[in-house]
Amino acid sequence: MKKCNAYILDFNEIDQKSHSLVGGKGANLGELYQIGEEVQVPDGFCITTEAYRKMTENHLELNRLLNELNQFQAKDRKAITKISSQIRQTIVNIRIPEELTKAITERIHIFGEQQAYAVRSSATAEDLPTASFAGQQDTFLNVIGKEAILQHISQCWASLFTDRAVIYRIQNGFGHSNIWLSVIIQKMVFPQVSGILFTADPVTSSRTVSSIDAGYGLGEALVSGLINADNYQIQNGKLIGKTISVKKSAIYALKNGGTIEQELESGLQHSQALTDEQILQIERIGRKIEAHFDCPQDIEWCLADGTFYVVQSRPVTTLFPIPKTSDPGNHVYVSVGHQQMMTDAMKPLGLSVWQLSTSHPMHLAGGRLFLEITKQLTSQAGREILLNTLGKSDPLSKDALMHIMERNIIPLTQDKNQESPTAGNKLTSPAIIRNDPKLVTGLIRQNMESINTLKQQIQAKSGSELMDFILEDLNKLKQILFDPQSFAALMAGINASAWINFNMQEWLGEKNAADALSQSLDNNVTSEMGLALLDVADVIRPFPEVVAFLQQTKDEHFLDQLPAYPGGNTAREAIENYLDKYGMRCPGEIDITKTRWSENPVTLVPLILSNIQNFKPGESKRKFEQGRGEALEKERSLLDRLKQLPGGEEKVEETREKIAQLRIFSGYREFPKYIMINRFFVYKQSILKEAEKLVSENVISEKEAVFYLTFHELYKALQIRQVDRQLIHKRKEDFRNYEKLTPPRFLVSDGEIITGRYKREDLPENALAGLAVSSGVIEGRARVILDMKEANIEDSDILVTRFTDPSWTPLFVSVKGLVTEVGGLMTHGAVIAREYGLPAVVGVENACQLIPDGQRIRVNGSEGWVEIL
């Protein structure tokens, strides 16, 4: 081994640059130690990761066990438990070299041999800005004497392989063989009170609110959740709330080492652990620490004899990032992803292409896009528009908006008579449009011709000329999306549905009458996509060898292998014809970087097999005709009942006209997005050809690296033939971290997340509230599916998922009902559920966690709830 002083660093020798030597916790302690007198840190030193590395890296048995551990996934709990135990025992049995023992003994002599110490683990993958690893390795308190300290050092090293630490690393993408452990030896403090301070509210995420938990004795009881703690909240230097808990016990240090839990005397159990003055004092310390690290902090502190000591500080890793703005005032943002039914994180190229395809400026945070609605909130007219748009189809959004308005987060600054700040941004009212099916078919034909022209013209483009061409075509796309005639056709169906629902309830007392009338519409490209996959199944079903091959293949190039089987060429042709029309689709399709069905057609195989298993030949036509028949029967029933009313003939004629309008135009609602996704795929194919050239020139290492550049950064890269590889690496890391975050519907510029609630008193017991979007009641087995590739659906199942975009439609033909966490009345899942006649409830918060896979449930798509049976 090297000289032993290379393996020991005092706190005053440590800063963030020491991370690889002393781990996250140790590096942060070194930084805290150097802030100044206001932040008191108990003295101590770190045994560096070099000591651990040298003791373990050439240990044959340990390396064998580590190689075995690296084969496991988080789900392999039993195997992980067995191997981890063996690794821990192996590490404990490794003898600490004499030179290191001597160096540790010398440091203990300087600090005090009879002094009590905390012996704490500090891993290199710990207290990072994006993963805290809190509590994953062990800490030992009140350790006294050289032998006890040496023993606990070995136990700290071994704790790198507790079950919880191993599984946490697997879940966060860290390997086991390249994580090293430092051990902190720190003087013990024997506090009267200890606790945790968050410099951002862990509940609302507001960066202006600090939250403090406090209890008596050592902080171990509070950190481990063994006791109830007081909670104090401070905003802008003022105490704004406190909850005094009943604190029945505390953990204290024993004289000869170790700790003990003791019951508190009755007077202390109900008392406030910190005075108001002390609360404000520790909060000021916390803000100073936050300013030093330049991000919100999770701080462990203790109060001993009137002095606050800080024993740990780490970044708060669960906060959703805030959109950047140069204006210091309050701003309110609404999630674009919740409107688009795609709340996953997007890569930079996907974000920038989506922004270029829209007419509204957007803000970026956490790999998602947000629209700012601050100006709209400054006027009463603007507020009414928000409630009638965002709030009309989503009760959770409406309640959140009401909360924002009631709190006056953005004050009203305009009179009612002043023009709304949204006036310049609104689409003009749709033109009156006649009930002529040729209008819809004409729009579809015109736009498909533009796609074919795009495919031909883009072939000749390359380099920056290609990027200019795409920019020009994105402007054409915006013209298509906001074309007045197209907008009028789209709104005609929506308005007809709203008219029917309102008037049928007024005249006949019937809710959601338009749902049944919306089944089996013409010209709905999304519902046709689901039915067309049934036709593909019909082609393949007669060939058992092909079916058997599909049941076992995972190969994305499986189409090339089909001709080897009887009927394989026929099956391949059917799938390729399907991909020609729908292959540009995929889950999360608004992100141009997502893998399309055409790029990985094996994604469709489980859906095809499900259709083969669950349905008889001809199911596509049968389903469509059944839906059309039910819609016609509903129309006859409504009109017959209307005839019996006063003014019945007039009501019948008006209603017949609106039903015709609904059935002619409602299917078109899905078409503009189909055109957009078509164009996105054409762009992507050409961009990837350019990326392959950059790979061949060694500008990038893989073609997918361009996904981590914005559109304009890629434009420049194609001009100068070079990229910032470090930037790409950082963005890959950022994206992996953004994937773990859940975006809020509404976000305030101080970080506060505004949530809405259902205000329902009519729910059955144990029912989950949601928004009714497609009428009917159905019972069945819940299939909780987060990834389409994992779909294993049977005919009577109910699909439960986070959100659905058009790519999920092929699953809809196989299920009896739909439950989603995100959605609204006119979102894709709702529209297709109505067309297929599926009872559906959307906006059921945390449905994927609250409904176990395989659980029998009842979906009430008429009233808007889900019962767990």
828 catalytic residue (yes or no): yes
Return the structure tokens found at 53.
Answer: 């590395």
385: region left, alpha or beta (phi > 0 left; psi from -120 to 50 alpha): alpha
Are 311 and 303 in contact by the 8 Å Cβ rule? The answer is no
Helices 163-171 and 77-93: angle between axes, nearest 10 degrees: 120
Strand-strand pairing, 797-801 and 817-820: parallel
Return the structure tokens found at 55.
Answer: 């003791």
d(CA 347, CA 736): 10
Question: 863 in helix, strand or coil?
Answer: coil
| Residue where the block lists tokens 């943002």 | 333
Are 530 and 607 in contact by the 8 Å Cβ rule? The answer is no
Are 49 and 14 in contact by the 8 Å Cβ rule? The answer is no
Catalytic residue among 19, 331, 338, 828: 828
Residue 530: how many other CB atoms lie within 10 Å? 25
d(CA 144, CA 108): 10
* φ, ψ of residue 207 in degrees (nearest 5): -75, -10
Q: If 0-12 CB within 10 Å is exposed, 13-18 middle and 19+ buried, where does residue 255 land?
A: exposed
Kindly provide the b/e burial profile for residues 79-110, where b requires at least 16 CB atoms within 10 angstroms of the residue's own CB.
ebeebbebbbebbeebebeeebeebbeebbee
d(CA 78, CA 446): 60
How far are the Cα atoms of 211, 357, 724, 726, 824 from residue 364, in angstroms, in the given order? 27, 15, 21, 21, 23
* Cα 432 from chain centre: 41
Return the structure tokens found at 607.
Answer: 């859906």
d(CA 477, CA 623): 34
- What string of H, E and C letters represents the secondary structure of 520-559? CCCCCHHHHHHHHHHHHHHHHCCCHHHHHHHHHCCCCCHH
- Active-site residues, by number, are 828
